[in-house]
Structure 1
């Protein structure tokens, strides 16, 4: 049974009023059913990141993280349908960016996709949309606790257009220059992690550091339970992220899913061990969650190229490297409070480099068609090609993100950062109405008590004590 073949004279796959567009996929249905299921679970990464970021933030800025997680997905969906998919995956793309052949979803329907002939293009488009949405959301983490909502969404739209889409075209479009080099990137070490890490660093750099007026909670997560729940959703969603990137339901796809869990597990072990010996034989739930994510980041480019034990090594090494860079923000003099650059930028670079060393054709050929030897197979030059990918994506994403942010910064109404007063109160009170996270009952009661005392005996000692208690509670929020 032969796979469907794209017919350029019928770019949408046929007129459903005249032909059965499903007939060409008879016998291959399990491939696109598997991929659309992977897409559904990848979607869970979106609220997962929202919960993770919300838990890592102080309580007074946590609501913004939840809101942005869904709004970024909504804005990115519009961008992808408008021109994003065409710029990344059009069949007539150049080596650096696609054209407008699929502008506005033109012809994106039942034809075999450019990614895999057994996947209808509409399924492929949905799956890749979710990658873009997750990546933009990671980038927005660079605005942690001080970035205004509307400019962040505008930035996300244009960042997806001029950073993510070109890099995705380089890496995964058959016309892309990295695809033809070739660099090896199974599921997004470059377009997703390296690009988002460097771009989040640019965001934090342009915004400047957060104001720290002695808050005891500065730099500490307000809700470890949210961090845990977010990590669980991200870990689960990553099975679809890596497992679906084979773009078929082959043994290679199943191995990629197994490697995903393996690397997350050894990543957690690695980070916990660093914490254990660094902090007097004590543990950290947040550290364990960060270790799992670091392992997931490291295995992303390698999941379909390495065996299970090398996946374990990649997850462990990536997490240990990231955990040892605890003071990276201080070294760079940049306030990346969400540590996006450390986890995704550094983790993605480590994973991509290790992919060049450990990739093996005996693994990649599990799908029956892909031969991708790395250094372990005697193809040492592949390590250099991975370095080319790392260098190109890092420099392009950082510089273009900086340029885009500076342009937005000087557009009237698009100032990126909230005021200092609003930052002290928190993003939630400044940017939202009639909503709050957690129990603010004690704070509200103290505020009421202060107002009553001011009315009855202004300037008294009791009023001063109430104000001091309010200041303390506000800082710990």
Structure 2
């Protein structure tokens, strides 16, 4: 279920981009899972979850190449084997990389992104995952409540995408006039794929078919739907129109906020979280204009900010009885303020600040370092941006069968009335002469001639009837 989220992100980003860069967005998302599968097998799982490392920051290479990773109880739950846990967590890392890939939209080259993706998973994602979920991670020992990835997945992707966008630079201003998503149907399709996959993302993080998984799915839907309703209403108040893109944006923001919270929070707390997320993330889409960073797909607003809100919600609405619904953690983990655990708020804030700072600073340094490597310049040329990333980077096109030409700005609008004689005989307008010859000299049907009306058929003159024949029909 989780792996379906990656093509879902591709469709979402493709629909949000312009047509000339639509396929490149699907490509970078799908390539992300290829790179992460290798990275996770090679050393990613070991760096994130090796229980032998005790530094609290990052794992060792004990499980390099999935060595010693078979039937032993997993770090996530004693009820599932470690090999299954490693495969499941690989999908989390791949999804996070695909979310971050939204930063390359419409002006980023794909080869530098591939290099960045492997290095980013190693030095950004794996450390944050170790903090939160490794049994020796400092966040795990500190008491951080992060159910399915508010830190590694959501803050990691949101801040990394912001950093990569900063390193890339803004798109050309002259290309931004009247910018709109090119295919809203693809946006909806991608959102539905994400929604389905997110039930595996959040529900599956209970590591069993238990009540906690069901509660997590309920909480995910509640947060998503209240986020969608809130976002749509906020957009309606400005335009007095109902926005499909607004619904998708609100639903995704709600699902993001539910990621760290759905396995901890009560149902009524999830409703509150959905409304707050819809409001905050809607306004957070304006931040990129204030800080002048072209976060094309609003990854920072809809993932980074929403992930922070979900983590904070655990401090207020986390409940021990929800955590214990899996039959494993009953009485082991305490909730937040509902259980009078007042310290949970500053624990969550400390974790948010650490994940935010690490993800942004390391990602920016990594992106700038790659940019200086010969042949790995992050950004395509101005001419390539004008042409489109599909043509420049892939040589394939999402909608090639309807293209006439791609240099749209080269079209010259008419500046005067057309000159010359426009009265071309209709039968000469056909591209194939035989088509006109089939109709010249043909008499109209009896029912049309009997009612005294001019013979027009389908399009009248487009049948190519000679002038003298039409005169006969009239008389």
TM-score under structure 1 length normalisation: 0.83
Aligned to 1:63: 23
Does residue 366 in structure 1 map to residue 325 in structure 2? Answer: yes
Does residue 105 in structure 1 map to residue 55 in structure 2? Answer: no
Return closer, same or farther for 1:424/1:448 CA change in 2, 3 Å cut-off: closer
Does residue 346 in structure 1 map to residue 270 in structure 2? Answer: no
In 1, the alpha carbon distance for the partners of 2:211 and 2:343 equals 27
Aligned to 1:90: 50
Aligned to 1:132: 93
In 2, the alpha carbon distance for the partners of 1:97 and 1:60 equals 41
Spell out the pairing of 1:196-211 with structure 2 (5 A cutoff). 196-211=157-172
Aligned to 1:302: 261
In 2, the alpha carbon distance for the partners of 1:446 and 1:342 equals 31
Aligned to 1:432: 394
After superposition, the C-alpha distances for 1:107-146 in whole angstroms (9 at most, x for unaligned) are 1122221221211111101100000000011112112211
Paired residue for 2:8, among 27, 30, 48?
48
User: Are 1:270 and 1:316, in contact at CA under 8 Å, matched by a contact in 2?
Assistant: yes
Return closer, same or farther for 1:107/1:420 CA change in 2, 3 Å cut-off: same
Q: 5+ unaligned residues in a row in structure 1: which ranges?
A: 1-40, 451-459, 463-477
Aligned to 1:471: none
In 2, the alpha carbon distance for the partners of 1:242 and 1:398 equals 25
Aligned to 2:198: 238
Does residue 145 in structure 1 map to residue 114 in structure 2? Answer: no
Aligned to 1:323: 282
TM-score under structure 2 length normalisation: 0.83
Aligned to 1:334: 293
Shift of 1:90: 0.8
- Determine helix, strand or coil for the equivalent of 1:334: coil
Aligned to 1:261: 221
In 2, the alpha carbon distance for the partners of 1:98 and 1:308 equals 35
In 1, the alpha carbon distance for the partners of 2:326 and 2:8 equals 30
Shift of 1:429: 0.8
Aligned to 2:426: none
After superposition, the C-alpha distances for 1:19-40 in whole angstroms (9 at most, x for unaligned) are xxxxxxxxxxxxxxxxxxxxxx
In 1, the alpha carbon distance for the partners of 2:341 and 2:406 equals 65
Aligned to 1:23: none
Does residue 407 in structure 1 map to residue 364 in structure 2? Answer: no
Does residue 162 in structure 1 map to residue 123 in structure 2? Answer: yes
Shift of 1:362: 1.9
In 2, the alpha carbon distance for the partners of 1:93 and 1:344 equals 30
Does residue 278 in structure 1 map to residue 229 in structure 2? Answer: no
Return closer, same or farther for 1:328/1:447 CA change in 2, 3 Å cut-off: closer
Shift of 1:214: 4.8
Shift of 1:212: 2.3
User: Are 1:187 and 1:242, in contact at CA under 8 Å, matched by a contact in 2?
Assistant: yes
Aligned residues: 411
Aligned to 1:184: 145
In 2, the alpha carbon distance for the partners of 1:444 and 1:390 equals 44
Q: 5+ unaligned residues in a row in structure 2: which ranges?
A: 419-475
After superposition, the C-alpha distances for 1:231-282 in whole angstroms (9 at most, x for unaligned) are 0000010000000111222211111111111111111111011111122x21
Runs of 4 or more above 3 Å deviation:
214-217, 438-450
In 2, the alpha carbon distance for the partners of 1:143 and 1:446 equals 22
Shift of 1:289: 0.1
User: Are 2:23 and 2:396, in contact at CA under 8 Å, matched by a contact in 1?
Assistant: no
